[in-house]
Amino acid sequence: MRADVFLVESGHAATRSQAQRLVAAGVQWRFAASMPWQKVAKNGDDIPAGAEVQLLDMAEARYLSRGGLKLEGALRSAGLSVAGWRCLDVGQSTGGFTDCLLQQGAAQVIGVDVGHGQLHERLRSDPRVVCVEGVNARGLTAEGLVQACEIALSEPVPEADDDRQPVNPYHWMSGDGEVTDYDDSGDADDSDVDAHLAERAGARLAAPKRRRRRGTAGVDLTPAFDLVAGDVSFISLTLILPAVVPLLKAGGTLLMLVKPQFELQPGQVGKGGIVRDPVLHALVEQRIRESCAALPLRVVGWHDSPIEGGDGNREFFIHARREA
């Protein structure tokens, strides 16, 4: 079996992409304790069923994506503990940041993403996680976030439980259809019957009622977070910050990944989308700091990401605190 497929099916990796990162970091296998270890050189190398596997670098296995390692390093650099915090994950995607926050003790993570179906099932089914999909963070509002969360936590009411069905106008019929003490003074006339049929047709066409899923009744949706963290692409943070800062409680913390290639003009970005010039890195920092200054944010720190972007770009974290 292919090494990357084996790692997923054996539970060593949550996704194929994570498995491929594990292979790059170092994986070896053996079929029995008496046999020597065999190094996996590439994703397509064969690992036989039943083989014992050893990961040579456990860091890549800690989180569902490399984003978790980036955020872990940023939290360490910023000296932050998120234990017991309610967090908003902007650009939730597969869930690397969410995974890291939960493992660091966060009480709740509400994640928003413009895409659909990306969050790993392990996190999607976690009662501490709310996944809001199809939402552009640039347009976030407190009211809109709460409404989107309510939809994410709800399910359609089964028709049998739906109380919109109109009462049968033929009230004089008994359970078996037998007429008892017939009195036509209360019968429905043709217009009543037509109105009843129209009501039933309208009920079938109307959007179904929704109710909270089992076990979600006590989920806190208050749009005032201890931490807003995020990893977004193809949009400048200067366009995101005005929307997410109002969702921080007074004194709350902002910790956002900064990708220089999305903060500069196309002519300032090198071949392959790489930004290598330190002068441009400084320009990006200046612009982000200016955006924070225009909001009720006090910049606490600017940190290097411990890991480069997948394209080799140098990345950073902006650490700020909302002032009262």
d(CA 308, CA 53): 28
| Tens of pLDDT, residues 46-94 | 888 888 888 877 777 889 888 999 999 999 999 999 999 999 999 999 9
Domain boundaries, the chain: 3-60, 66-141+220-322, 163-207
* CB-based contact 293:322 (threshold 8 Å): no
pTM of the complete model beyond 0.85: no
Average pLDDT, the chain: 87
What would the two tokens of residue 189 be? Answer: 């006339």
In the block, residue with structure tokens 């989308």: 273
Supply the pLDDT for residue 194: 72
Architecture of the CATH domain 3-60:
Roll (3.10)
Please say if the pLDDT value at position 322 is more than 90: yes
276: how many CB neighbours lie within 10 A of its CB? Answer: 11
Question: Nearest 5°: phi and psi at 122?
Answer: -60, -40
Architecture of the CATH domain 66-141+220-322:
3-Layer(aba) Sandwich (3.40)
Question: Nearest 5°: phi and psi at 226?
Answer: -75, -35
* CB-based contact 71:229 (threshold 8 Å): yes
SS (H, E, C) 43-86: CCCECCCCCEEEECCHHHHCCCCHHHHHHHHHHHHHCCCCCCCE
| Tens of pLDDT, residues 238-260 | 999 999 999 999 999 999 999 99
Q: Hey, do 3-60 and 66-141+220-322 end up sharing a CATH topology, with the first three levels equal?
A: no
Q: Report, as an integer, the average pLDDT of 131-145.
A: 95
| Tens of pLDDT, residues 8-37 | 888 888 788 888 888 888 888 888 888 889
d(CA 67, CA 95): 8
Rounded-to-5 percentages of helix, strand, coil across the chain: 35, 20, 45
In the block, residue with structure tokens 């700091």: 289
Length in residues, the chain? 324
Residue 189: which pLDDT band, with cuts at 50, 70 and 90? low
